[in-house]
Amino acid sequence: MSIGAQIAWDDTVLPFQLDRSDIRGRVARLDGVLETLLVQHDYPPAIEALVAEMALLTALIGQTIKLRWKLSLQVRGDGPARLIATDYYGPTEDGEPARIRAWASYDADRLDHDAEPFTQIGKGYFAILIDQGADMAPYQGITPISGRSLSDCAQTYFAQSEQLPTRFALTYGRSTLAGRGEFWRAGGVMIQHMPKASPFATSDGGTGEGGLLQADDILAGDEGENWNRANILLDTVEELELIGPQVQPTDLLVRLFHEEGPRVFDPQPVAFGCSCSADKVRQSLSIYSAKDIATMTTDDGVVTADCQFCGAHYEFDPATLGFEAKGAAGGAE
């Protein structure tokens, strides 16, 4: 495959549908986006792995949201990996890239560097939040941490909260190509049974961990057979096929699902992007009194703030902050 074709599929999400199985899905490849997300933070390997997996899940799930909507994924636990948070901003216009950002909070002293990264989360919850814009109430769905990976948590979320059988096959890590140094790459496939008006799930609970619903609790008959067949086909995928760059997503779909009638749609480009700004930081500080602002002021007479997602640095005149502000607004990144 040519270098041009390789680059064309980097940082994209390709939607597809399996017409014979009533299943939709996406293929995602993250290259420069993931590298940018991780190189600006000095995360330990375990945290890097969790952020990489979360970013890939976010790209796959976020592709379905509408223009200018925002989707957020959050994992909070009582382990040393306290928080993994990602945001996906829908394109502002048709043809524009979606934007992703990610951030992690962790207790370095408690990390077990020899353990599987997912075990560092402990007990907690997996949440998906959708912000539909001004004058619209945000949607939020939460399920307990379950399974053995963040992908398992996402699959449980869709079964339990949306009653949509969902499956992820993901891989991520550092890669080396001729002429380039070591850099991050990630790739994955998401399949999801099309929603039905009357799912088979009941209020009696499911067969998953803690009684949570699983795909087999939702589908039956021909739908269940179609879903199982698609999962068996996806089980044959290899890591190098997922991560690329030698196998194009379209070729991968034909290899995996050619008997299911795969139909592809326009790919969605993805870029790194942060929504922070001086105005938003100022707004977040507007709840504090002048006394509170004084405690935040440095010896140099300024209030500073750094974006946890992108590292942008802001400085403000304390007189312009808080609900008792008296000075003219001003600030610099």
Radius of gyration of the chain (CA): 22
Buried/exposed code over 189-220 (b: 16+ C-beta within 10 A; e: otherwise) = bbbbbeeeeebebeeeebebeeebbbbbbbbe
Measured over the CA atoms of residue 49, residue 50, residue 55 and residue 61, the dihedral's sign is positive
Q: Where in the chain is the domain with CATH 3.55.30.10?
A: 3-272
pLDDT of the residue at 274: 84
In whole angstroms, give the CA distance from residue 86 to residue 270. Answer: 14
Q: Where in the chain is the domain with CATH 3.90.1280?
A: 278-332
Count of CB atoms situated within 10 Å of the CB of 264: 14
pLDDT of the residue at 235: 97
pLDDT of the residue at 114: 93
Looking at 3.30.67, 3.30.70, 3.90.1280, 3.40.50, the CATH number of the domain 278-332 comes to 3.90.1280
Looking at 3.55.30.10, 3.40.50.970, 3.30.465.10, 3.30.70.580, the CATH number of the domain 3-272 comes to 3.55.30.10
pLDDT of the residue at 29: 95
What is the block-wise mean pLDDT of the chain (333 residues), using blocks of 10 residues? Answer: 54 94 94 91 94 97 87 96 96 91 96 95 96 84 95 95 93 76 89 68 65 74 88 95 87 94 94 87 86 87 85 87 72 48
In whole angstroms, give the CA distance from residue 50 to residue 97. Answer: 24
pLDDT of the residue at 200: 46
